[in-house]
Amino acid sequence: MPNLLIIGGGYAGLWAAMAAARRADENGSELHIRLLSKDAYLTHRPRLYERNPQDMRTPLGPVLEPIGVDLALGEVTAIEPAARTARATDAEGNSTEYIYDGLVLAAGSILRPPPLDIVDGRTWSVDDYQSAVALDQHLQARMAEPAEDAETVVIIGAGFTGIELAAEMRTRLAAHGGTARAEKARVILLDAAATVSEDLGPGPRPHILEALQAARVEVRLNTTVRRIKGDQVMLDDGGRITCQTVIVTTGAQANPLAAGFGLATDPAGRLFVDEFLRVKGLANIHAAGDIAHAMTDDSHASLMSCQHAMPMGKAAGYNAASDLLDLPPLPYQQTRYVTCLDLGPWGAVFSNGWERQVEMIKDEAKARKQFVMTQVIYPPTKDRAAILEAGALG
């Protein structure tokens, strides 16, 4: 029986497992599928800017067990393509070698570290589950402390995550029992760029600025943080901000595993893949999600988002299983692209297409965002038929 190993328990990896299981099942073929994840949960990273990040994950077991996919836990430290092996270390420090016939690399991304010095201070993030929970506990502790001065929160990076976090921050502070202090708090959003949401284009920008103003977020552009020392954020123009919380949202870069193959990568460190999501230059390895640079159509590369990770994962799982079972693969394509940016109490902005043509704002867009965040990105559990159906391409 062929062995398919999937590395990564995020959206790409989990949907790859569902698609691979479906591909084998619909053809009556035997295929051993193992998903190797650093923990036993799918973390809903797009929701970690919200309050109660402790609730933002789904156990992998109830998704994988009904479709006969094995779950192994461990952090992958090395992959040897020539030997077709991957080595992982578990939480106790034990190392295990996994042998594969086919591999789907869906190890995701990590936070891109900001180029600044930190002395006697620290920064927070919402990049992963542990970081988001730690930030939430920090905010709760801050709101529990008596203080005469206004609370100041600095968010570095005015991209997608930074904007959503800034717009939501005052609500998050109030949720921890600090309503009065939340009203007095300063929320400052910094970015070295000349505009907010530079990657989202000009269409959504007026709505974003309106929402940030409504949330009383101080936006400082053309501003670079040079150093953080204690509670002082020192800027490149010589200014400084006294604050109690610094949150870094400086974007993502591919998991360092991508660099271990010695292949060319894109500026984000992602591996180049062909139309079937096979890694160029490697045999028997497909890649999907944040670690893969794939073309969604003739002109656009995939983005680091669950919107692309889930369909990429399905295509990679389908094609990896097809290769092992001597079945024809299908090319990955994803012509539809939308964005939906949560803007806190103001609402949201929904745009369609790579030109980001705004179609909905405020409450209507907020309802769309909540539908996606509470239903679309969640896998079915326990029901075998529903799980296999969720792995269907299309």
| Model confidence pLDDT, tens digit, residues 199-230 | 888 999 999 999 999 999 999 999 999 999 99
Q: Summarize the confidence of residues 332-344 as an average pLDDT.
A: 95
Q: How far is CA 167 from CA 107, 175, 208, 221, in A?
A: 30, 14, 9, 16
Structure tokens at 42: 């799918």
Alpha-carbon distance of 128 to 187, in angstroms, equals 22
H helices present in 30-157, as ranges: 61-64, 129-144
- In the beta sheet, which residues pair with residue 262? none
Question: Could you report the per-residue pLDDT of 254-272, keeping only the tens digit for each?
Answer: 999 999 999 999 999 999 9
* Residue 349 covered by a domain: no
Same-domain check for residues 142 and 238: yes
Same-domain check for residues 126 and 48: no
Note the pLDDT of residue 394. 78
Domain limit, last residue, from 248, 267, 298 = 248
Note the pLDDT of residue 178. 76
Are 119 and 150 spatial neighbours (Cβ–Cβ below 8 Å)? no
* CA quadruple 275, 280, 286, 290: dihedral sign: negative
Same-domain check for residues 92 and 55: yes
Structure tokens at 219: 């936006």
Residue type (1 letter), 3: N
Same-domain check for residues 139 and 64: no
With tokens 């620290």, the residue in question is 122
Alpha-carbon distance of 32 to 390, in angstroms, equals 19
What confidence category does residue 118 fall into, taking pLDDT thresholds of 50, 70 and 90?
confident
CATH number at residue 125: 3.50.50.60
From the list 110, 235, 228, 211, the residue with the least C-alpha distance to 163 is 211
Are 163 and 198 spatial neighbours (Cβ–Cβ below 8 Å)? no
Least confident piece of the model among 75-89, 116-130, 131-145: 116-130
Alpha-carbon distance of 60 to 73, in angstroms, equals 11
Note the pLDDT of residue 164. 97
If one counts the domains in the chain, the total is: 2
Alpha-carbon distance of 169 to 135, in angstroms, equals 12
Of the ranges 114-118, 255-259, 390-394, the best mean pLDDT one:
255-259
Pairing of strands 225-229, 117-119: parallel
Alpha-carbon distance of 283 to 59, in angstroms, equals 32
Alpha-carbon distance of 8 to 340, in angstroms, equals 25
* Residue 99 covered by a domain: yes
Are 133 and 54 spatial neighbours (Cβ–Cβ below 8 Å)? yes
Alpha-carbon distance of 58 to 338, in angstroms, equals 25
From the list 252, 288, 267, the residue with the least C-alpha distance to 159 is 252
Residue type (1 letter), 369: K
Q: How far is CA 59 from the centre of its chain?
A: 17
Least confident piece of the model among 59-73, 136-150, 241-255: 136-150
Alpha-carbon distance of 330 to 318, in angstroms, equals 8
Domain limit, last residue, from 248, 274, 302 = 248
**C-alpha R_g of the chain:** 22
Return the H-helix or E-strand segment holding 385: helix 384-390
Domain limit, last residue, from 232, 248, 264 = 248
Q: Which domain holds residue 237?
A: 117-248
* Residue 344 covered by a domain: no
Structure tokens at 322: 């097809």
What confidence category does residue 120 fall into, taking pLDDT thresholds of 50, 70 and 90?
confident
